[in-house]
Chain A
Amino acid sequence: MKKILKLIGLTLLLSLSTSAMAKNVVKVDLANGASVWADTCMRCHNLRKPEDFNKRAWKYSMNHMRVRAGLTGQETRDVLAFILSTKTAEDAK
């Protein structure tokens, strides 16, 4: 058990340091977002349209889907950026 905890601790430490290094680089790829959105979401359920949720709700939904669908952080940001970019002025809130 101690070994397991040590391994988990080590993994956490390594990962956090990697995370910290990459923290300042936040770029989004709308084309990749569109592709991941179309390929991944529809595998399990009908597509939810951008106007179905407001911006804030999309943020929470995408983090939920990051866990459920096994998306990377970058893919999550790309999909979110793509969805928000397609929202019209009428449903932008």
Chain B
Amino acid sequence: MKSKMFKLLFIALLITVVKANEKGTLDVLKLQKELYKLKKSIDKVESELEGNAKSGFQLAGYTSFDWADIQKNDNEFSAVKFAPIFHAQYGDLFQFEGEVEFSTKEDGETAAELEYAAGTLFINDYMGLQIGKFMSPLGQFVQNLHPSWINKLPSTPVGFGHDGAAPTSNIGMGLRGGLPKVKGIRSNYATFVSNAPTFGTASDGDVVIDASGKTSSGDISKTWGGRFAINPMGGMEIGFSSALGKVSETLTAITNVGAAVGDKIARDYDIFGTDFMFNSNSFDLKAEYIRQTIGESQFSTIEGGIWKAWYAQVSYQLFASNFEPVLRYSDYHNPEAKRNQWAAGLNYLFSNNLIAKVAYEYNSNEDKAAVNSSINDNRVLVQLAFGF
């Protein structure tokens, strides 16, 4: 009798447990369904918020405010720069990016320059076709490090500004992208064909290679070039750049060979560069060498030669603080001048994109008669830079 009762009790218990499990399973399934519904409605709201469109745009950019105390000159609020960057894209197929740099000149007028405006058609995972005006992919400072919130000093290295040794931009087209890893090593490339730069005497009397993008290259052949870079280890990149073509020169004076003033001539032109970047935790090292060579011409009174510049920069964000000391040496040689510069600075990072910088530049020139002497004065520079 007792055992029968135990059996009945056990069966009743079993039925209760099974029923409870069934109910639990049903509850879980119900909960999963509710979660799925919730996720769907969140996705819908998100899509609506983002317009759920393939086309869209973003406004980014940077701004900076400078103060300078230049030897032999008064101290002054020396520069204000505002550089909005516009990104627009169509799905993952096409992207447009454009930057206009606004700055205030000494006389209060506003200078505006289209730094770049280029579209990239992503052909596949390893290749994009870029067309338009783009920053010169040769080297790394001009293309990637010039924005004031990225540049760790308030100034550019000598020879890496406009009309220096490093080309600034191109108008043309090119193929670029990242390559599949080979034995764990990443690499990337950029190739281009663009209108030829011009060569001649600037308004201040300096002989310059104007290697900023132009919409005309006359009858001069195009410039062909590119950069290949490898990443042998995390945080390190080694790049090699080269380009070949002609420069266009409009004759302002003539030799005795039969050309006339105003004639356009072509002169041989080539570029070679190499660059190195390494970053580990708070330690950062950057170095770059770039060289542009202009061939001789029997028609011109301006001699050809080599425009070359290099720099090395080291910085370290002090442990557990927002302070970052920076030291840079840069050197620029052209057929008329030899300049070099030491720059030492201290940055305070309010955040990674809001940076206050103080620096001292020691400039020296081995050929003082050849260039505007004011650029060789030593100076204290202060800058507040913000990237957004």
- List chain A positions with a Cβ less than 8 A from chain B: 4, 8, 11-12, 15-16, 18-19, 22, 35, 38-40, 42-49, 52, 55-57, 59-61, 63-64, 66-75, 93
Q: Contacts A72-B125, A93-B49; is A38 near B144 (CB within 8 Å)? A: no
* 28 A-B interface contacts by CB (under 8 A): A8-B129, A11-B127, A11-B175, A16-B124, A18-B124, A19-B125, A22-B125, A42-B235, A42-B279, A44-B140, A44-B144, A44-B145, A48-B352, A52-B353, A56-B56, A60-B58, A60-B87, A61-B58, A63-B87, A63-B89, A67-B97, A67-B130, A70-B177, A70-B187, A70-B190, A71-B188, A73-B124, A75-B186
CB distance from A16 to the nearest CB of B (A): 6
Interface size on B, residues (CB 8 A): 57
B60 at the interface (CB under 8 A from A): yes
CB distance from A90 to the nearest CB of B (A): 15
B77 at the interface (CB under 8 A from A): no
CB distance from B349 to the nearest CB of A (A): 7
CB distance from B142 to the nearest CB of A (A): 12
Partner of B58 from A49, A56, A67 at Cβ < 8 Å: A56
Tell me if B's interface is mostly helix, strand, loop or mixed.
strand
Partner of A64 from B95, B125, B130, B175 at Cβ < 8 Å: B95
CB distance from B180 to the nearest CB of A (A): 7
CB <8 Å contact, A72 and B179: yes
Partner of A70 from B122, B176, B278, B387 at Cβ < 8 Å: B176
A72 CB contacts on chain B under 8 angstroms: 125-126, 177-180
Residues 372-388 of chain B, each 1 if its beta carbon lies under 8 Å from chain A, else 0? 00000000000000010
- Measured in the bound complex, the distance between the Cα atoms of B127 and A8 in whole Å is 12
CB distance from B28 to the nearest CB of A (A): 24
B34 CB contacts on chain A under 8 angstroms: none
